[in-house]
Amino acid sequence: MLWTIFLLLILVFLYSTRTRQKNEPPLDKGFIPWLGHALEFGKDAAKFLARMKDKHGDIFTVRVAGKFVTVLLDPSSFDAVMNDTVCLDFTRNRNQLRQRIFSLQLQSIKPTAERKWMELHFQGLGLSKLSGSMNSHLQNLLLSDQQGCIPSEWRQDGLFSLCYSLLFRAGYLTLFEKPDNVTAVYNEFRKFDDLLTKLARSSVKREERKMANISRERLWELLSPNWLSGGSESNCWQQSYRHFLKEEGVDAEMQKRALLLQLWTTQCNAGPTAFWLLGFLLTHPEAMEAVKSEIRGLTLRDTSLQHNPPEAHSTPVLDSVLSETLRLTAAVMIRREVVQNKILHMANGQEYHLRQGDIVCLFPFLSPQMDPQIHQEPQIFQYDRFLNDMTVKDKFYKDGKRLKYYTMPWGAGTNICVGKEFAVTAIKQFVYLLLTHLDLEMCDPEAKMPPVNPSRYGFGMLQPDGDLQVRYRLKRTQHANRI
């Protein structure tokens, strides 16, 4: 026993004594042995990485809980990471996270097969089927939630709850087709989602771990389709997913657990995005007026729009509002493990050696998205930032060079988000329906947007710390030219 502790101490000591070698990025180990910067990183990754960027520049290596993480913040050099599938690997980290968060092992599935299966459903013909179903569910839920209310009566709610609940439930009905337990699934999922970042960082306390386990098990049961326990099969997305898993050699228990992963992947980002988007519109009246005016213009040109909301139409203003919202609130961390020593060629000609076993991490939220050299006054919401007259603005520069990546909410390269079109369509449908069916306003006209919950940096869409109270009621006439 003593020998084991002694050996462990030597290992920790040896690992702590890592020094920067020639041509390696600046190394910042922090003061705490082994942990390094883990606490600061977990508390507010954006603040910590901004501090490191000021200190070291666009590339540096930090120690985080025993791992050495090289952070690259120069968007012109991102392709050197994203296009390398030989020295850099994304599957190990992904598998680790799946195990920690979802108690799930899907190692037998080839990542390319998984992606192909997703593309089949969320792109092309599959996409229009799902988007049509999503639109009907959104419309039905919006109207049924108002049933029993006097039309002229205002109802009050937090905007985050309103958006998350509606988009989540419509998404669940579209993909899982189980109307009997939709509210129970939503409520349980929100509890689980609140613990997600802690589970991912393995920083849950004992009580929280218990709660997470209970929640996870309850969700597995709720999501289990009737046909898993011998009931009749339906021809839905979920069933096709199960067939796919079976063919890839996944056992019945893991098939059941994988449904929670799918629920999270497909439902965790759209609701929060819609919240930020509508929140920005409500707190920026000129932006709200520009979007409403665009919707009025659409319906004047196309009277069938009432039944065919705007995804098929050109909506440059709403598109710019969505891009600007995502620029400010999409904060994914793209991580790869270095599986072979690699020389990273930066766009400015510099070369850095990356060591096998380290992690490379891109954090597009800091740059390009919040980079003042690319976007003027990056903290400010400017609804027309991505608009040239009435066309999309896609020319952005840094140091005089045009950028390929000027905002990156969907990731890029081989792992770019499979659900991008589905998500964009759903969010646009949702905003359109809400603005055309409801009178919506802030309870306090002077209210500001709530701050960001800083523990969510690195996990996709940010969520607010608190909510924005709104009141709403059904419009007397649901027609877009009355908005």
C-alpha pair distances (Å), 340 with each of 26, 71, 85, 260, 336? 20, 17, 11, 33, 12
Tell which positions 435-464 bind ligand HEM, by CB under 6 A: 460-461
Q: CA–CA separation, 372 vs 366, rounded Å?
A: 10
- 409 counts as binding ligand HEM under rule CB under 6 A: yes
> Which one of 18-26, 115-123, 229-237, 441-449 is the stretch in contact with ligand HEM (CB under 6 A)?
115-123
Q: Is 362 annotated as a binding residue?
A: no
In the complex, least distance from residue 410 CB atom to ligand HEM, rounded to whole angstroms = 5
Lookup: tokens for 291: 């979007």
> Which one of 27-35, 262-270, 291-299, 346-354 is the stretch in contact with ligand HEM (CB under 6 A)?
262-270
Which CB atom, from 76 or from 407, has the smaller least distance to ligand HEM? 407
- 122 counts as binding ligand HEM under rule CB under 6 A: yes
- 309 counts as binding ligand HEM under rule CB under 6 A: no
In the complex, which residue's CB is closest to ligand HEM? 419
> Which one of 101-109, 157-165, 236-244, 418-426 is the stretch in contact with ligand HEM (CB under 6 A)?
418-426
Candidate residues 141, 332, 338, 434; the one interacting with ligand HEM per rule CB under 6 A: 332
- 366 counts as binding ligand HEM under rule CB under 6 A: no
* H/E run at residue 342: strand 342-345
> Which one of 181-189, 194-202, 239-247, 416-424 is the stretch in contact with ligand HEM (CB under 6 A)?
416-424
Q: Which of 421, 410, 412, 415 is nearest to 125 (CA)?
A: 421
C-alpha pair distances (Å), 97 with each of 94, 100, 269, 419, 424? 5, 5, 17, 20, 26
* H/E run at residue 56: helix 45-56
| Bridge partners (DSSP) listed for residue 72 | 59, 362
The CA-based diameter of the chain, rounded to the nearest angstrom, is: 80
∠ Cα 154 133 158 (to 5°): 30
- 419 counts as binding ligand HEM under rule CB under 6 A: yes
Candidate residues 181, 415, 453, 478; the one interacting with ligand HEM per rule CB under 6 A: 415
- Interaxial angle between packed helices 252-267 and 159-176, expressed in degrees from 0 to 180 and rounded to the nearest 10: 140
Candidate residues 64, 270, 290, 433; the one interacting with ligand HEM per rule CB under 6 A: 270
Q: CA–CA separation, 307 vs 311, rounded Å?
A: 12
Lookup: tokens for 183: 């509210």
Which CB atom, from 236 or from 442, has the smaller least distance to ligand HEM? 236
Binding residues for ligand HEM, rule CB under 6 A, total 22
Candidate residues 105, 240, 265, 453; the one interacting with ligand HEM per rule CB under 6 A: 265
- 468 counts as binding ligand HEM under rule CB under 6 A: no
Provide the CB-side half-sphere exposure for 14 (13 A, CA). Answer: 6
Provide the CB-side half-sphere exposure for 170 (13 A, CA). Answer: 31
Are the beta carbons of 276 and 325 closer than 8 angstroms? yes
Candidate residues 273, 299, 367, 463; the one interacting with ligand HEM per rule CB under 6 A: 273
> Which one of 12-20, 99-107, 327-335, 434-442 is the stretch in contact with ligand HEM (CB under 6 A)?
327-335
Name the binding residues. 100, 106, 269, 417
Name the site residues for ligand HEM (rule: CB under 6 A).
Answer: 115, 118, 122, 265-266, 269-270, 273, 330, 332, 334, 409-411, 415, 417-419, 422-423, 460-461
Name the binding residues for substrate. 100, 106, 269
